[in-house]
Amino acid sequence: MDSFRAAPAPQASAVRIGREEEGSVIRGWIEEAAARHGDDVYLADARGAAALTYSGLLGVVRETERRLDEAGLPRGARVNVRLADPLGYAAALVALIAAGRVAVPLDPGAPDSDVARVTGVARPAGLVTGGAALPGAVTAAGNGGATPSFGITAFDLSPLTPVTDDGGIFLCTSGTTGTPKGILLREAQLAHVASSVVDWHRLRSDDRGYCSLPLFHVNAEVVGLLGTLRAGAYLAVDRKFSRRGFWDLISAERITWINAVPAIISILSMDPPADPPARLRFVRSASAPLPLAALERFERSVGVPVIETYGMTEAASMITANPLDGPRKRGSAGRPAGAQVRIALPGGRPATAGDIGRVQIRGAGVITAYASGGRPGAIDDEGWLDTGDLGYLDADGYLFLAGRSDDVINRGGEKIYPREIEEILLAQPGVRSAAVVGLTDEVLGERPVAYVVPDGGAAAGEVEELLRAACALRLPRHKQPSEFWLVDEMPLGPTGKISRRLLKESVAARS
Q: How does pLDDT run across 18-73, given as a tens digit for each residue?
A: 434 456 899 999 999 999 999 999 999 998 888 999 999 999 999 899 989 988 89
H or E segment to which residue 466 belongs: helix 460-474
Q: 25-37 vs 86-98: helix axis angle to the nearest 10?
A: 120
Pairing type for strands 41-45 and 445-454 reads unpaired
The yes-or-no verdict on residue 13 having pLDDT over 50 is no
For the residues 127-142, what does the mean pLDDT come to?
56
Residue-level pLDDT at 174: 64
Q: How many CB atoms lie within 10 A of CB 213?
A: 25
The yes-or-no verdict on residue 149 having pLDDT over 70 is no
Residue-level pLDDT at 385: 96
Residues 222 and 269: beta-carbon distance below 8 Å: no
- % of the chain surpassing 70 pLDDT: 88
Summarize pLDDT for 183-194 with one digit per residue, the tens: 999 999 999 999
Residue-level pLDDT at 33: 97
Q: Which CATH number fits domain 408-510: 3.40.50.1980, 3.20.20.70, 1.10.3470.10, 3.30.300.30?
A: 3.30.300.30
Summarize pLDDT for 340-392 with one digit per residue, the tens: 999 999 876 778 999 999 999 999 999 999 998 888 889 999 999 999 999 99
- % of the chain surpassing 90 pLDDT: 62
> If pLDDT is split at 50, 70 and 90, which confidence band does 276 have?
confident
Distance CA 313, CA 371 (A): 13
The yes-or-no verdict on residue 89 having pLDDT over 90 is yes
Distance CA 12, CA 339 (A): 10
Residue-level pLDDT at 141: 40
**Alpha helix ranges (H) inside 21-129:** 25-37, 54-70, 86-98, 112-122
Higher pLDDT, 186 or 110: 186
Residue-level pLDDT at 147: 45
105 burial (CB, 10 Å; 0-12 / 13-18 / 19+) is: buried
For 133-137, which contacts have Cβ atoms below 8 Å and span 24 or more sequence positions? Answer: 134/59, 134/60, 134/63, 134/64, 136/56, 136/59, 137/52, 137/56, 137/57, 137/59, 137/60, 137/63
Residues 365 and 192: beta-carbon distance below 8 Å: yes
Domain ranges for the chain, please list them.
3-393, 408-510
pTM (predicted TM-score):
0.86
Q: How far is CA 35 from CA 16, 197, 230, 454, 470, in A?
A: 18, 23, 14, 53, 60
The yes-or-no verdict on residue 481 having pLDDT over 60 is yes
Summarize pLDDT for 244-260 with one digit per residue, the tens: 999 999 999 999 999 99
Residue-level pLDDT at 487: 92
The yes-or-no verdict on residue 160 having pLDDT over 60 is no
Residues 335 and 308: beta-carbon distance below 8 Å: no
Q: Which CATH number fits domain 3-393: 3.60.20.10, 3.40.50.12780, 3.40.50.1260, 3.30.360.10?
A: 3.40.50.12780
